[in-house]
């Protein structure tokens, strides 16, 4: 189960994730991301309520980061300790800007 909450203010897009970002739910995030990303210069991903991430979720975060490298910036916020550990093990802490 994944809830995706999007807030757009001008060229800034905030996406808050709640639940599990896994093989089954990651395609939903990819779809939501792609439908709204045109013209966005600043993307904030709020992971405060994200409980779980697998490689399928990391794949979408990588896609988002690559997209934003071309058109602006991306920040990941509020990741919990377990999610942070996944970012560290996979080297994603070096790819993502984590605040």
Partner 1 sequence: MKKMTVKAGLDNLSRVLACVDEELETAGCSMKTQMQVDIAVEEMFVNIANYAYAPGEGDADVCVETEETDGGKRIRITLADQGKPYDPLMQEAPDVSLPAEKRKIGGLGIFMARKNMDEMTYEYRDGRNILTMFKRI
Q: Is 78 in the site for partner 1 (CB under 8 A)?
A: no
Among residues 59, 72, 77, 78, the one that binds partner 1 under rule CB under 8 A: 59
Q: Is 62 in the site for partner 1 (CB under 8 A)?
A: yes
Which CB, 38 or 94, lies closer to partner 1?
A: 94
Sheet holding 73-77, edge to edge: 2-9, 12-21, 42-53, 73-77
Q: What is the distance between the terminal CA atoms of the chain, rounded to a whole angstrom?
A: 25
Among residues 3, 7, 23, 31, the one that binds partner 1 under rule CB under 8 A: 23
Within 8 A by CB and 6+ apart from 43, the residues are 12, 13, 14, 15, 37, 64, 68, 72, 73, 74, 75
Distance, C-alpha 85 to centroid of its chain: 16
Among residues 3, 7, 73, 82, the one that binds partner 1 under rule CB under 8 A: 82
Smallest gap, in angstroms, from Cβ of residue 84 to partner 1? 11
User: Can you give the binding site for partner 1, defined by CB under 8 A?
Assistant: 22-24, 51-56, 58-59, 62, 65-66, 69, 81-82, 86, 89-91, 94-95
């Amino acid at each position: 189960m994944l809830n995706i909450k999007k807030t757009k203010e001008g060229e800034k897009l905030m996406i808050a994730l709640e639940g599990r970002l896994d093989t089954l739910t990651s395609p939903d995030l990819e779809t939501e991301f792609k439908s709204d990303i045109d013209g966005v210069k600043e993307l904030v991903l709020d992971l405060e309520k994200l409980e779980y991430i697998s490689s399928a979720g990391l794949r979408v975060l990588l896609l988002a980061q690559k997209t934003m490298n071309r058109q602006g910036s991306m920040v990941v916020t509020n990741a919990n300790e377990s999610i942070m550990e996944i970012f560290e093990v996979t080297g994603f802490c070096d790819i993502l800007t984590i605040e």
